[in-house]
Amino acid sequence: MKLATLKAEHKDGILVVVSRDLRRAVKATSIAPNLLAALECWTQCEPALAALYADLNAGEAVGAFDFDPGLAAAPLPRAPQWCDGSAFLNHGNLMQQAFGTPPIPDMETIPLMYQGASDDMLGPTDDVVLPSEAHGIDFEGEFGVIVDDVPLGCPAELALRHVKLLVQINDVSLRAFGPREMKAGFGFFQAKPSSSFAAVAVTPDEIGEAWREGRIHLDLAVELNGEWFGNPNGAEMNFGFHQLIAHAAATRRLSAGTILGSGTVSNAGDQRGSACIAERRAIEVIEKGASSTSFMKFGDRIRMEARWQDRRVFGEINQRIVQAFPPAMVG
């Protein structure tokens, strides 16, 4: 099943079911007004949504219309919680090797995770509005999961039953803030503005055998200004999503609609490229002694898309970086 949110006056948008080929959609507001409401009552809503999805794919859904990703918000424009991991240790190892940062204790046995802002998620074609190029603007291609209610202390072996939807993410990063915030010991804040999402969230069965071992075994194709940047595969997560969920739920309950991210998709070796600029810069330092790839400038465009069996899964993230202007002073 494939679900999306159309922009509306209400911040949570309008829930729609999207066809398998991402060409058609139909409103699902008779089942739930928005995706968060559906997740909060998933046991009751899921059968009706699945039936509507079957009708849509069969060309029998009343009121179906052409799906326009440009009208889509993030699947969850605001979420109860956004927990982002760093589950690909190759990415962290490259950064440590290039920049001489000390190894993080227990990083091979305890997942890294920060809690990001979840009140203002961006849609797939929304401009990424930021204050300054000097902040080191970067993208981070990731996969993620959305869960239903997860109890306190949920063990990893039971965690995957709580995964209801899979998503594709651009976790926008401002690299100039990262070193100071990490040294402060309170985690990321200014370094992590609003994250962006592909238009469509999918149930795990939509990618068949590519969803296994708590991992999304798909290539994530990344282009910067129309040029290939990388196509790393999500299979190489050192911690699966079941382990990330268990880590997040170790001391708290997770509310339905909580999103957990994989961190930057990263593969060993240099054939698959990278899913963020910082990693490419680290590789350049290791191989050449200095980085040559610059961070993003205003007007730059980032595109990301994952496919399964040559089918579009989530749709693409296709965004431009633009400058924010200070709000007008009110006298």
Claim to verify: residue 124 and residue 188 sit in the same structural domain: yes
Q: Quick one: pLDDT band at residue 328, thresholds 50, 70, 90?
A: low
Inter-axis angle of helices 277-288 and 89-99, nearest 10: 50
Q: What is the pTM of this model?
A: 0.96
Claim to verify: residue 11 and residue 148 sit in the same structural domain: no
Claim to verify: residue 127 and residue 221 sit in the same structural domain: yes
Q: Per-residue pLDDT averaged across 124-132, rounded? A: 98
For position 308, which CATH number holds? Answer: 3.90.850.10
Domain-located, residue 330? no
Give residue 108's Cα distance to chain centre: 23
Contact 323, 131 (CB under 8 A): yes
Claim to verify: residue 111 and residue 11 sit in the same structural domain: no
Which residues does 100 contact at the CB level (< 8 Å), separation at least 6? none
Claim to verify: residue 6 and residue 133 sit in the same structural domain: no
The residue range of the domain holding 39 is: 2-71
Which residues does 172 contact at the CB level (< 8 Å), separation at least 6? 128, 130, 137, 138, 139, 140, 192, 193, 194, 195, 196
Domain-located, residue 331? no
Domain-located, residue 121? yes
Percent of the chain having pLDDT more than 70? 99
Domain-located, residue 198? yes
Question: What is the three-state SS of 59-92?
Answer: CCCCCCEECCHHHECCCCCCCCCEEEECCCHHHH
185 vs 139, residue with greater confidence = 139
Claim to verify: residue 185 and residue 52 sit in the same structural domain: no
pLDDT (tens digit per residue) in 63-122: 999 999 999 999 999 999 999 999 999 998 898 888 877 788 888 899 999 999 999 999
Domain-located, residue 135? yes
Contact 126, 263 (CB under 8 A): no
| pLDDT of 187 | 82
Tally the domains of the chain.
Answer: 2
Percent of the chain having pLDDT more than 90? 88
| pLDDT of 55 | 98
| pLDDT of 331 | 46
Q: Per-residue pLDDT averaged across 262-266, rounded? A: 97
Claim to verify: residue 58 and residue 188 sit in the same structural domain: no
